Amino acid sequence: MLDAFIRKGARRILLTRTTEHQKDKNEDAITSMVFSPIQFMSPEDAFTCFKAVLPNLPRHVTGQPVSSVHVEFWPSVMVEDARVEPDLRAEIRFADYSSLVLIGEMKWGSVITREQIHKERETVNGGDAYVFAIIKTRGTCTADGLGCNELRTWTDVHRSICDLSGSQPSSSVRRWATLVSEFLEIAEQLVFNGFREINIHELPKSDQSTIFFGQNNVNGHLNRQFKLPGPEAALEEKDWIFYNRRART
């Protein structure tokens, strides 16, 4: 699905619940697109991906080599009299026979609550649990406030994965990082990386006081121009505002 979304323009996963006349499935589809490939990797590569998404995770483990990683999506667990389904459950076992269970809750357009995190933590009975959440906008949410070990935005994840794609020798991790980075870029969870060099002779000519234009990230040429209505009296000086369409925040 990652390839179809990036290469062929498949977009059905980002339709609204109104369009589909059913429950919004964006969060489930995005969770699967980002994390499903990890379940087919070697334990070392899978753990590398999780550490990239969750930079605080290494502080919670002993540093022992990983022996196995088992990933589940939406496992159904009874907690007291209620059924709880965290988005992701990953059991990580280490060479010293210790283990850690990752519990993840991913949000795209809906609200996350402390009660939800508390219930999902209770799905791990007697084991060491590391509960994380990924949301679109942090707002006033904090990890402590929600009761999770780590709270990240999708933009945070994108930034970490961008760093991983350029520094990872493993081909499977590098390919995963590249595809997920491109997906999050299309989904507008963007990371600002600065502007490329712009040829002053390519600047659009305008009598407007302020002008916006985007830069084509493929060949470096200007590809789109946006103008704001100028004042009644044209100003002698112009404010030029540049942005890179593939790197804006």
Q: How confident is the model at residue 164, as a pLDDT? A: 82
What the block records as the tokens of 184 is 């999050």
Q: How confident is the model at residue 79, as a pLDDT? A: 86
Over the stretch 8-48, which tens digit does the pLDDT of each residue have? 555 565 555 554 444 455 778 788 889 989 999 999 999 99
Rounded to whole angstroms, what are the CA distances from 171 to 32, 38, 42, 176, 179?
20, 13, 12, 8, 12
Q: How confident is the model at residue 245, as a pLDDT? A: 47
User: Tell me, what amino acid is at 33?
Assistant: M
Buried b (16+ CB within 10 A) or exposed e, 9-31: eeeebeeeeeeeeeebbbbbbbb
Which residues does the chain have with pLDDT short of 70? 1-25, 127, 188-249
What the block records as the tokens of 5 is 């979304």
Topology given in CATH for the domain delimited by 2-186: Trna Endonuclease; Chain: A, domain 1 (3.40.1350)
- Domain spans of the chain, in order of start: 2-186, 200-244
Q: How confident is the model at residue 23, as a pLDDT? A: 46
pTM across the whole model: 0.69
Q: Is 125 exposed, middle or buried (0-12, 13-18, 19+ CB in 10 A)?
A: exposed
